[in-house]
């Protein structure tokens, strides 16, 4: 997705330096992630092997099975050897029966050695491999559908949020949004789901400020949008959230149900949900490996920093996070066209030259990541409830997006900070986008910032501050983990030995086995 945007007069050596510093800051984090596993990584592996469902109280069978294995032998070797050893020994006919027995304590697990370990690993690799193949099948299905039905005519893709809490209400709203011009439908999650250490089962009809992410909800919405895609003659993409304590599991379910984009930031869960950093980094690496295989575009969450920190003073923290997210994503196997790196239009409109600064920040992101479908977020922090002012701000946001070649344009709502948007609010918002793109979509051809002008100076200043921050991060004894603990990003202080989900982290033994990771890495 090469950009169509005016070029800034940046020093290529500074750009290379920033990217190299991000690599150096990120490498110890990758080593940390690959030295640990988590309950969510192991549960996601079982989901890829075909284990789903829940007991009568709603506890997923993957949770019951992983908890039973962990109680008997820990997770240092991974869940696969103990589980498939039990199956090979005849403790149960399949994973479903084994999980049922494990839940009531009628089976005990051990770590096999010798020939028994070889047999268990062979059986595990075969069954987990069926899940990896399903990711491949669904990816090819997407490619065929786009070739047959057609794609969105041009970028930026228009991204609209729909989430009532009731999946059966979300479906007609999503279809109406697509008919009104949306290219991407995002079903945001129910408030607090990121803090649940299990994935709810089945279709859900209750949620607060969002709808629960479940595999059945994914299936229902994907089927509905496929129907609408055929009706409209263009493929409508579907987005959800692979974040929180169940990040890898949700990534696996998304791949198996052919979602197209997933919110998947390397630090969001730690910064804004107080999830332990080691848990987050271990979970996000595996989730991104799944996204890479499934052909899913990730959306990162740098826009959130600007809801807690000043968008002018903290602009460089967004750039640093984008560079880190790029490094972590590429290391996990994602390609540039899958990097929906985030940023936002959040400068206080009362600040002089605010729009010029927004252009500088947007052009800097566009030039640093020329082949990434950047996700550009509308104003939220400085929306006051004045819907007329809000509609104008959204128009300025749309103009900046068109002028700077953003790839994914999230539709701003004039009723932000007032109510959850009505369908009529979304329709007005889409009219705003359509007008600006129709009137100004090719304005980039006529716009060239002066090399010594305000926009170029601001962009170079933010890049220089980004380099300084990365150098300070490398100067910390604990590197990026210490920087996170000090509140470098979004003003949130999150120590590496604290936060939710720490009890679900376990160091891998030297004999750790996970066929899903092996297969995903072998296929790169």
Assigned token pair, 399: 């103009």
> pTM of this prediction?
0.95
With 0-12 / 13-18 / 19 or more C-beta atoms within 10 angstroms meaning exposed / middle / buried, residue 434 is middle
φ, ψ for residue 95 (rounded to 5)?
-65, -40
Helix (H, G, I), strand (E, B) or coil at 54: strand
Closest CA to 136 of 290, 328, 298, 261: 290
* pLDDT for residue 3: 55
520 neighbors 125 (Cβ within 8 angstroms)? no
Strands 505-507, 36-38: pairing is antiparallel
| Sequential pLDDT tens for the chain (524 residues) | 445 788 999 999 999 999 999 999 999 999 999 999 999 999 999 999 999 999 999 999 999 999 999 999 999 999 999 999 999 999 999 999 999 999 999 999 999 999 999 999 999 999 999 999 999 999 999 999 999 999 998 779 999 999 899 999 999 999 999 999 999 999 999 989 999 999 999 999 999 889 999 999 999 999 999 999 999 999 999 999 998 999 999 999 999 999 999 999 888 889 889 999 999 999 999 999 999 999 999 999 888 777 778 899 999 999 999 999 999 999 999 999 999 999 999 999 999 999 999 999 999 999 999 999 999 999 999 999 999 999 999 999 999 999 999 999 999 999 988 877 888 888 999 999 999 999 998 888 899 999 999 999 999 999 999 999 999 999 888 899 998 998 888 778 899 899 999 999 999 999 999 999 999 998 77
498 Cβ contact partners less than 8 Å away, ≥ 6 residues apart: 274, 276
- What is the phi-psi region of residue 303: left when phi exceeds 0, alpha when psi lies from -120 to 50, beta otherwise? alpha
Closest CA to 514 of 64, 129, 7: 129
135 neighbors 292 (Cβ within 8 angstroms)? no
- Please say whether the dihedral angle defined by the alpha carbons of residues 239, 440, 15 and 336, taken in this order, is positive or negative: positive
Q: How far is CA 184 from CA 36, 101, 363, 488, in A?
A: 35, 42, 23, 32
Residue identified by tokens 């999650």 is 189
Q: How far is CA 484 from CA 349, 403, 492, 494, in A?
A: 29, 34, 7, 6
Q: Which residues are catalytic?
A: 268, 303, 375
* pLDDT for residue 65: 98
Q: How far is CA 318 from CA 127, 186, 254, 362, 471, in A?
A: 41, 22, 27, 11, 15
Assigned token pair, 197: 């250490």
The pLDDT tens digits for 299-352 are 998 887 777 788 999 999 999 999 999 999 999 999 999 999 999 999 999 999
Q: Domains, the chain, ranges and CATH?
A: 12-25+153-456 (3.20.20.440), 36-129 (no CATH)
* pLDDT for residue 1: 47
Residue identified by tokens 């997770």 is 75
Closest CA to 246 of 31, 27, 46, 14: 46
What is the C-alpha to C-alpha distance for residues 274 and 289, in angstroms, rounded to an integer?
23
Closest CA to 490 of 186, 257, 279, 267: 267
* pLDDT for residue 2: 46
- Please say whether the dihedral angle defined by the alpha carbons of residues 419, 421, 423 and 428, taken in this order, is positive or negative: positive
Assigned token pair, 485: 């603990």
User: To 10 degrees, the CA torsion angle through 313, 319, 325, 328?
Assistant: -120
Question: For residue 156, is the peptide bond before it cis, meaning its omega torsion is within 30 degrees of 0?
Answer: yes
* pLDDT for residue 477: 84
Closest CA to 283 of 261, 251, 257: 251
What is the C-alpha to C-alpha distance for residues 69 and 67, in angstroms, rounded to an integer?
6
């Amino acid at each position: 997705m090469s950009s169509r945007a005016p070029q800034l007069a940046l020093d290529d050596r500074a750009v290379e330096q920033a990217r190299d510093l991000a690599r150096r800051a990120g490498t110890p984090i990758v080593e940390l992630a690959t030295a640990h596993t988590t309950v969510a990584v192991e549960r996601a592996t079982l989901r890829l092997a075909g284990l789903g469902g829940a007991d009568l109280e709603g506890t997923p069978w993957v949770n019951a099975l992983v908890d039973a294995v962990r109680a008997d032998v820990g997770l240092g070797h991974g869940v696969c050897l103990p589980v498939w050893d039990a199956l090979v020994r005849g403790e149960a006919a399949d994973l479903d029966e084994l999980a049922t027995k494990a839940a009531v304590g009628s089976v005990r697990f051990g770590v096999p050695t010798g020939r028994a370990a070889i047999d268990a690993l062979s059986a595990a690799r075969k069954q987990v491999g069926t899940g990896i193949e399903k990711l491949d099948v669904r990816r090819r299905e997407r490619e065929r559908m786009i070739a047959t039905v057609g794609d969105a005519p041009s970028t930026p893709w228009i991204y609209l949020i729909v989430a009532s809490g009731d999946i059966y209400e979300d479906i007609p709203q999503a279809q109406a949004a697509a008919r009104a011009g949306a290219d991407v439908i995002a079903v945001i999650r129910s408030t607090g789901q990121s803090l649940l250490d299990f994935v709810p089962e089945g279709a859900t009809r209750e949620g607060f400020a969002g709808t629960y992410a479940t595999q059945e909800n994914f299936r229902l919405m994907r089927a509905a949008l496929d129907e609408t895609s055929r009706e409209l003659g263009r493929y409508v993409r579907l987005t959800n959230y692979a974040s929180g304590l169940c990040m890898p599991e949700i990534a696996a379910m998304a791949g198996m149900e052919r979602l197209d984009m997933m919110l998947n930031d390397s630090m969001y869960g730690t910064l804004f949900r107080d999830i332990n950093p080691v848990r987050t980094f271990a979970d996000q690496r595996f989730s991104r490996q799944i996204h890479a295989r499934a052909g899913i575009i990730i959306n990162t969450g740098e826009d959130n920093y600007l809801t807690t920190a000043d968008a002018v003073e903290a602009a460089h923290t967004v750039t640093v996070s984008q560079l880190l997210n790029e490094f972590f994503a590429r290391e996990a196997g994602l390609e540039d066209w899958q990097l929906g790196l985030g940023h936002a239009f959040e400068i206080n409109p009362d600040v002089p030259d605010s729009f010029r600064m927004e252009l500088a920040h947007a052009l800097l992101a566009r030039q640093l990541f020329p082949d990434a479908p950047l996700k550009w977020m509308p104003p939220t922090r400085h929306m006051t409830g004045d819907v007329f002012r809000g509609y104008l701000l959204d128009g300025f946001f749309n103009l900046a997006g068109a002028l700077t070649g953003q790839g994914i344009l999230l539709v701003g709502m004039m009723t932000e900070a007032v109510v959850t948007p009505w369908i009529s609010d979304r329709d007005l918002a889409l009219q705003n986008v359509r007008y600006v793109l129709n009137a100004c979509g090719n304005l980039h051809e006529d716009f060239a910032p002066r090399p010594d002008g305000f926009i170029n100076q601001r962009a170079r200043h933010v890049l220089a501050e980004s380099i300084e921050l990365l150098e300070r991060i490398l100067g910390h004894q604990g590197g990026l983990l210490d920087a996170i603990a000090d509140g470098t990003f979004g003003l949130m202080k999150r120590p590496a030995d604290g936060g939710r989900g720490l009890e679900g982290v376990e160091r891998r033994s030297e004999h750790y086995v996970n066929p899903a990771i092996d297969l995903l890495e072998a296929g790169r």
